[in-house]
Amino acid sequence: MTDQPPPPSDGADQPPPYKTPYGQPPGAPPPPGYGPPPGYGQGPGGPPPGGPPPGQNYDPRWGYGPPGVPYGPGQQMVTSEETNWAMFTYLGTLFVGPLAPLVIYFVKRRESAFVRFHAAQSLNYFLTILIHVVVTLAICLPPALLMDAPAFLILLAPLYLVDGLGQWVFLILGAVKAARGNYYRFPTFFCFRMVR
């Protein structure tokens, strides 16, 4: 290394100049050739030039919905009350069992499709875990009793581990998604769709 400055170059190793507003002072107009094509945003139905009006975060002509609105045709905006009820279906399952989502399902099923979806999913999750346990017990318990070999009951351990961890993971994830106003579907192995 030397303390000498590098030799001047002929510009061959320099990047080409880009027509972007990078490096310009804030509020400066963009250079010519940068930005939307001429005539863009003018006329009926086109986006307004320069973005949404000041103080307004959303303009439907830009093609994006306001925050918290589910995407898709025919879906309505979810209220904070609905998100709270949907979140309580999962938290209630964690602390009270299937009683909380069952009550919420029967009380709110005709008022809100969002709450009904999450309450039904929470009930389906509990019923699916119950089916896992009953089927595994039906398979493991008779040979263990008939052969007087409790080693067959070891097969229950992985199921209880998976379902026990899955309960905390999926129910908390469902509560978080419901609190944000999102629809979230559990994997089918953990949640057979029985209640709709």
Tens-place pLDDT, residues 66-116: 444 444 445 567 888 999 999 999 999 888 888 999 999 999 888 888 999
Q: Is residue 116 part of a domain?
A: yes
Q: Which range has the worst mean pLDDT, 23-27, 105-109, 120-124?
A: 23-27
Q: Is residue 135 part of a domain?
A: yes
pLDDT at 72 (0 to 100)? 45
With a cut of 70, say whether residue 43 has pLDDT above it: no
Q: Is residue 142 part of a domain?
A: yes
Instruction: Tell whether the torsion through CA atoms of 100, 105, 108 and 113 is positive or negative.
Output: positive
pLDDT at 62 (0 to 100)? 46
Q: Is residue 49 part of a domain?
A: no
Across 168-193, average pLDDT: 87
Tokens found for residue 127: 């019923």
With a cut of 60, say whether residue 138 has pLDDT above it: yes
For 108, residues 6+ apart whose C-beta sits below 8 A from its C-beta are 85, 115, 116, 119
Give the number of domains in the chain: 1
Q: Where are the alpha helices (DSSP H) in 17-64?
A: none
- Give residue 64's pLDDT band: very low, low, confident or very high (50, 70, 90): very low
For 143, residues 6+ apart whose C-beta sits below 8 A from its C-beta are 149, 152
Q: Is residue 195 part of a domain?
A: no
Q: Is residue 73 part of a domain?
A: no
How many Cβ atoms from other residues are within 10 Å of residue 102's Cβ?
Answer: 19
Q: Is residue 161 part of a domain?
A: yes
Q: Is residue 108 part of a domain?
A: yes
For 145, residues 6+ apart whose C-beta sits below 8 A from its C-beta are none
Range of the domain at 157: 80-179
